[in-house]
């Protein structure tokens, strides 16, 4: 491999994160398999193979729901950030749970067909022209393929090889995977589901994901200064009085670009909010001696130049900053990564 990358090392927090995740998955599966037959109205319709398939299928749906809730929750409340940092491990585990669900389904419903069971999965039902009886299996297959691609490219090497921007765009597929899962469940299981518990959990999970993303987007839109006005290339970020020593104010500039405006020793500096390692949120890290530490994996950058301290070579873009009265303005045109920008002193009394 000719692409240089720095692997992320395991630490106690990762071990705890994965331990809690595994315990939660096994606890859910055990409770579902052992306890739900007594409280669900199956009327003898569901055998052990189908029951296990539903256990793993519902677990995969809930896991994917939680994964998509973590992002907006972290934006709404920073106490959820520890859940965000190792979310990729959650995604890989979800893939294995989903594959197990698919295995149960294929080995029960298609093993006795005249053709190969995988061919039967694809061609046994081709009623694409109607809603009732639509071959919902294709949505499940698409979701598993999306999760497989995300898991296969979750290693640091692919982040470096593909570049963080392309890697991030690929991993937006998680939303398409979730939509496919919703369609898979809605057109499939719910058509033959007499127990209302599944319906409540399914609808509640999908609505929760949508509601949290809407709330996070609204908060992000309101997070800027309502009195601030942008002028030409300069974007108003906040009032100077809103800046806290040693912390950042994060704002959107244009498109997906976000800037982190720091106050260090009474002076204002601005760098890209995306860490050069894995696009971690630099604005959520605290600075010490002009160095901000990325909360994801500990990479550090000088907020004045966007450069990592020697011997490290990572660099992020910097931005020009100026004050207009009490307003902090940032030039939307980023400087090349590693460009030193003289910090702007905070007005006295701000």
Domain that holds residue 193: 12-222
**pLDDT at residue 161, rounded to an integer:** 78
Confirm whether 5 is domain-assigned: no
Check pLDDT > 70 for residue 230. no
Tell whether the model's pLDDT for residue 277 goes beyond 50.
Answer: yes
The answer to whether residues 17 and 166 belong to one domain is yes
**pTM check: above 0.85:** no
Lowest mean pLDDT among 182-196, 207-221, 278-292, 315-329: 182-196
Together in a domain, 209 and 270:
no
Q: Judge whether 137 lies within some domain.
A: yes
Same domain, 254 and 189: no
Averaged pLDDT, 51-57: 90
Instruction: Please report whether residue 258 resides in a domain.
Output: yes
**Distance (Å, rounded) from C-alpha 58 to C-alpha 37?**
14
pLDDT in tens, 109-166: 877 777 788 887 878 777 777 777 788 889 999 999 999 999 998 877 777 778 777 8
| Residue 127 shares a structural domain with residue 74 | yes
206 lies in the same domain as 251: no
Answer yes or no: do 339 and 209 share one domain. no
246 in the same domain as 173:
no
65-110: per-residue pLDDT in tens? 999 999 888 878 877 877 777 788 889 999 999 999 999 988 888 7
Contact 105, 58 (CB under 8 A): no
- When mean pLDDT is compared across 50-54, 153-157, 210-214, the lowest value belongs to 153-157
- Could you tell me the CATH number of the domain that includes residue 340? 2.102.10.10
The per-residue pLDDT for 207 is 94
Q: Which of 171, 195, 222 is the last residue of a domain?
A: 222
Same-domain check for residues 324 and 176:
no
Number of independent structural domains in the chain: 2
pLDDT at 242 over 50: yes
Strands (E), the chain: 234-239, 248-252, 258-264, 267-272, 287-288, 291-293, 300-302, 318-319, 321-324, 327-331, 344-345
Residues 311 and 181 in one domain: no
- 60 is a domain residue: yes
Label each residue of 144-206 as H, E or C: HHHHHHHHHCCCHHHHHHHCHHHHHHHCCHHHHHHHHHHHHHHHCHHHHCCCHHHHHHHHHHH
Measured CA to CA, the distance from residue 89 to residue 86 in angstroms comes to: 6
Residues 172 and 295 in one domain: no
């Amino acid at each position: 491999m000719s692409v240089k990358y720095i692997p992320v090392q395991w630490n106690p927090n990762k071990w705890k994160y994965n331990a809690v995740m595994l315990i939660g998955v096994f606890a859910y599966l055990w409770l579902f398999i052992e306890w739900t037959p007594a409280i669900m109205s199956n009327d003898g319709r569901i055998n052990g193979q189908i029951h296990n398939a539903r256990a793993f299928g519902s677990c995969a749906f809930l896991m994917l729901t939680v994964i998509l809730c973590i992002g907006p929750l972290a934006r709404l409340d920073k106490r959820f950030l520890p859940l965000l940092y190792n979310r990729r491990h959650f995604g890989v585990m979800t893939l294995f749970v989903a594959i197990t669900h698919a295995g149960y389904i294929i080995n029960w419903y298609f093993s006795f067909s005249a053709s190969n069971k995988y061919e039967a999965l694809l061609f046994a039902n081709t009623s694409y022209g109607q809603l009732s009886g639509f071959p919902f299996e294709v949505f499940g297959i698409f979701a598993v393929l999306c999760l497989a691609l995300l898991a296969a490219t979750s290693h640091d090497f692919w982040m470096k090889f593909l570049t963080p921007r392309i890697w991030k765009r690929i991993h937006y597929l998680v939303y398409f995977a979730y939509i496919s899962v919703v369609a898979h469940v809605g057109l499939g299981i719910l058509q033959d589901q007499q127990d209302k518990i599944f319906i409540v959990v399914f609808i509640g999970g999908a609505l929760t994901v949508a509601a949290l993303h809407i709330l996070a987007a609204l908060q992000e839109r309101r997070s800027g200064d309502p009195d601030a006005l942008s002028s030409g290339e300069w974007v108003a970020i906040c009032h100077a009085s809103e800046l806290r020593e040693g912390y950042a104010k994060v704002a959107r500039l244009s498109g997906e670009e976000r800037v982190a405006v720091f106050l260090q020793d009474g002076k204002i500096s601005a760098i890209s909010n995306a860490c050069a390692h894995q696009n971690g949120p630099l604005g959520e890290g605290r600075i010490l001696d002009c160095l901000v530490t990325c909360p994801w994996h500990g990479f550090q950058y000088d907020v004045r130049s966007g450069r990592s301290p020697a011997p490290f070579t990572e660099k992020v873009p910097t931005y020009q900053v100026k004050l207009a009265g009490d307003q902090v303005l940032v030039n939307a045109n980023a400087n090349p990564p590693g460009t030193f920008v003289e910090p702007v002193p905070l007005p006295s009394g701000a």
